[in-house]
A and B are shown apart, each in its own frame.
Chain A
């Protein structure tokens, strides 16, 4: 539990509510919302099966990404893929600004150094050539933005607590995510140990997007006025919660696992492995024998270039269904525990439950609509929102571990806690 104080020092940083930076908080929310939109755009790309509609990267049909003629941009699947790239670039710039803002003037030198190093690395990769050229151009582009952020002469103070570190985490994640998205295109056809790299990078890209969104939501929470006031108040007054933090955390982890399975299913581009619900190929447990798989494939009429389904994909969808049930039970338990809460967490828990129920409904609709792209994308976005809700709920319920000053280890001053340098974990309540 020491990790909670290590991560959330703002909760214990002052006896007085800390005045939050109004514009920083709003900018963090805006960045998180832009990232949610980006997840949705990525969902549309995968749902429509147009991830390779722009064969090159980071150029688009040989053009600089930002100079693609509009007539080409509006052509079929190019629209989704190219918009995803532009949107991702925008989010990248937002995150660099956020990093600079959170890090204060102390972040200027690191940004300058990283920007210059990335530009140099980009030049090096261009010299190597081949498939590395795309990554070279990418590094040069992002390096230029980072360098610019370092040059900006604003002597702002760094944000409180560990927020600058969270900003740096977002900074590296957004670049890794961009690189993964590009490599998913450039290395699509490459095979390593019988694994198609395009599929592997696609799955990783889809999963990391969820982690990245959660991180930005956490930054938005920690920069919020609500968190500054409420967090400090909670630690001082020790408001008890009847909801076990562990239960919330388990439900959130289950949702994350569910999203991993979902991303794996979607990025195999095999369409619906099971086309009926609530039954599965007409049975409670589907026949997964080779004869049955051949029969399913013979009966499938795909309107896009889906790959044939396999027994593994059917098993994945069954796991997805059962995990959905487990998540529903877990979140239902959270809402039940929270029913007598006097705090706003009760409403929070009910909203979370409503999201999970809606998500289950959307999941069924995905199947009944034969995986209509807009329905499948809504399913992805609500899944991401459910994860974010769970992650924030986990953080909020962790307050139980620090209900009062007594929960903080003896000898640890508030200043020490603020600096996140607790030497030993506090006892569980």
Chain B
């Protein structure tokens, strides 16, 4: 019975003509080699959490040159955020790393930062948009979760730990719910986009900081948008 009510509610909320935008982000060119983070081995606390060499993760390139950690979102839409009622975005500090490394949320959506490490961290946010506030808060081992909310859209808002300066992550804050982050093979799905014509953009921390745009028309059966980002 509950499932039926939920389905009926979903049907009422989602326009009948909404569809998903699916696609793949591909990297063209050879990215620079990732570097080993040697500092982590020297750290008395964090070094113990890793048995193998730890590397940077700027270019996550998977099958068929699929590029992960790319934020894909619709452009030119504002004031459509449902962040206030959305589930919190969870960012964890585990193994002295932020997980996930690149993610996205809506304006007004709660960002919950956990500390799963047996060590002290400080969560230092560095927004570039002046209306978004910077925080620098300590978080002890096993300490309470820290919650952040940002009200202005911003690409790649940085979260970092100064205690362990190799720890940083990026959260892109979007003013609507139509975005996705590509998986390790470059695939993404933006769900429930109302039918219509849009500009869709792909942002990558290194290969496309300003974004690469294309036009897409969403119909009842959805749409496809593939991106090729180039590293020179």
Q: What residues make up the interface of A, taking CB atoms closer than 8 Å to B?
A: 48-55, 61-62, 72, 74-78, 81, 188-189, 191, 294-295, 297-305, 308
The reply to whether B158 and A298 form a contact with Cβ atoms under 8 Å apart is no
A76's contact among B32, B43, B134, B138, by CB below 8 Å, is which?
B43
The reply to whether B134 and A188 form a contact with Cβ atoms under 8 Å apart is yes
The reply to whether B206 and A298 form a contact with Cβ atoms under 8 Å apart is yes
Q: Does B24 contact A (CB under 8 A)?
A: no
Instruction: Tell me the bound Cα distance from A98 to B120 in angstroms.
Output: 39
**Taking the nearest CB of chain B, how far is it from the CB of A19, in angstroms?**
51
> Taking each of A52, A188, A298, which has the highest tally of chain B beta carbons within 10 Å of its own beta carbon?
A298
Residues of B within 8 A of A191 (CB): 130
Residues of A within 8 A of B138 (CB): 55, 61-62
Q: Does B79 contact A (CB under 8 A)?
A: no
Q: What residues make up the interface of B, taking CB atoms closer than 8 Å to A?
A: 32-35, 37-39, 43-46, 56, 58, 119-120, 122, 124, 130, 133-138, 158, 160, 162-168, 206-207, 209-210, 231-232
The reply to whether B209 and A76 form a contact with Cβ atoms under 8 Å apart is no
- 7 additional contacts (CB under 8 A) given A55-B124, A297-B209: A52-B136, A52-B162, A55-B137, A77-B163, A301-B35, A303-B35, A304-B165
The reply to whether A305 and B158 form a contact with Cβ atoms under 8 Å apart is yes
A76-B45 CB under 8 A given contacts A188-B134, A189-B134, A303-B166: yes
Residues of B within 8 A of A75 (CB): 45, 119-120, 163
A50's contact among B45, B162, B209, B210, by CB below 8 Å, is which?
B162
Residues of A within 8 A of B38 (CB): 303
Instruction: Tell me the bound Cα distance from A62 to B135 in angstroms.
Output: 16
The reply to whether B32 and A301 form a contact with Cβ atoms under 8 Å apart is yes
The reply to whether A303 and B37 form a contact with Cβ atoms under 8 Å apart is yes
**Taking the nearest CB of chain B, how far is it from the CB of A149, in angstroms?**
34
The reply to whether B133 and A53 form a contact with Cβ atoms under 8 Å apart is no
**Taking the nearest CB of chain B, how far is it from the CB of A221, in angstroms?**
38
> Taking each of B32, B34, B206, B207, which has the highest tally of chain A beta carbons within 10 Å of its own beta carbon?
B206
Residues of A within 8 A of B209 (CB): 294, 297, 308
The reply to whether B137 and A305 form a contact with Cβ atoms under 8 Å apart is no
The reply to whether B164 and A76 form a contact with Cβ atoms under 8 Å apart is yes
The reply to whether B136 and A49 form a contact with Cβ atoms under 8 Å apart is no
A302-B163 CB under 8 A given contacts A55-B122, A55-B136, A75-B119: no
The reply to whether B34 and A301 form a contact with Cβ atoms under 8 Å apart is yes
A78-B34 CB under 8 A given contacts A55-B124, A189-B134: no
Residues of B within 8 A of A302 (CB): 56
**Taking the nearest CB of chain B, how far is it from the CB of A343, in angstroms?**
47
Residues of B within 8 A of A76 (CB): 43, 45-46, 119-120, 163-164
The reply to whether B133 and A189 form a contact with Cβ atoms under 8 Å apart is yes
Residues of A within 8 A of B133 (CB): 189
Instruction: Tell me the bound Cα distance from A61 to B136 in angstroms.
Output: 11
Instruction: Tell me the bound Cα distance from A304 to B160 in angstroms.
Output: 9
A305-B160 CB under 8 A given contacts A76-B45, A189-B133: yes
A49-B162 CB under 8 A given contacts A75-B120, A301-B58, A303-B39: yes
Name the residue on B nearest A191 (C-beta): B130
Instruction: Tell me the bound Cα distance from A308 to B133 in angstroms.
Output: 20
Residues of B within 8 A of A301 (CB): 32-35, 56, 58
24 contacts between A and B (CB under 8 A): A52-B136, A52-B162, A53-B122, A53-B163, A55-B138, A61-B120, A62-B138, A72-B120, A74-B44, A76-B119, A77-B162, A77-B165, A78-B163, A189-B133, A191-B130, A297-B206, A298-B231, A299-B32, A301-B34, A302-B56, A303-B35, A304-B39, A304-B168, A305-B158
The reply to whether A52 and B124 form a contact with Cβ atoms under 8 Å apart is yes
Residues of A within 8 A of B124 (CB): 52, 55
Name the residue on B nearest A81 (C-beta): B162
Instruction: Tell me the bound Cα distance from A105 to B231 in angstroms.
Output: 70
Residues of B within 8 A of A295 (CB): 232
Instruction: Tell me the bound Cα distance from A52 to B164 in angstroms.
Output: 11
**Taking the nearest CB of chain B, how far is it from the CB of A364, in angstroms?**
20
**Taking the nearest CB of chain B, how far is it from the CB of A327, in angstroms?**
31
The reply to whether A305 and B165 form a contact with Cβ atoms under 8 Å apart is yes
Name the residue on A nearest B164 (C-beta): A76
Residues of B within 8 A of A53 (CB): 122, 162-163
Instruction: Tell me the bound Cα distance from A189 to B126 in angstroms.
Output: 8
Instruction: Tell me the bound Cα distance from A297 to B231 in angstroms.
Output: 10
The 10 residue pairs across chains A and B that have the minimum distance between CB atoms: A189-B134, A305-B168, A76-B163, A53-B162, A304-B165, A55-B136, A49-B165, A305-B160, A52-B162, A53-B163
Residues of A within 8 A of B122 (CB): 52-55
Name the residue on B nearest A295 (C-beta): B232
Instruction: Tell me the bound Cα distance from A199 to B46 in angstroms.
Output: 28
**Taking the nearest CB of chain B, how far is it from the CB of A9, in angstroms?**
47
Residues of A within 8 A of B206 (CB): 297-298, 300
Residues of A within 8 A of B167 (CB): 305
> Taking each of A53, A81, A294, A300, which has the highest tally of chain B beta carbons within 10 Å of its own beta carbon?
A53
Residues of A within 8 A of B56 (CB): 301-303
Name the residue on A nearest B167 (C-beta): A305
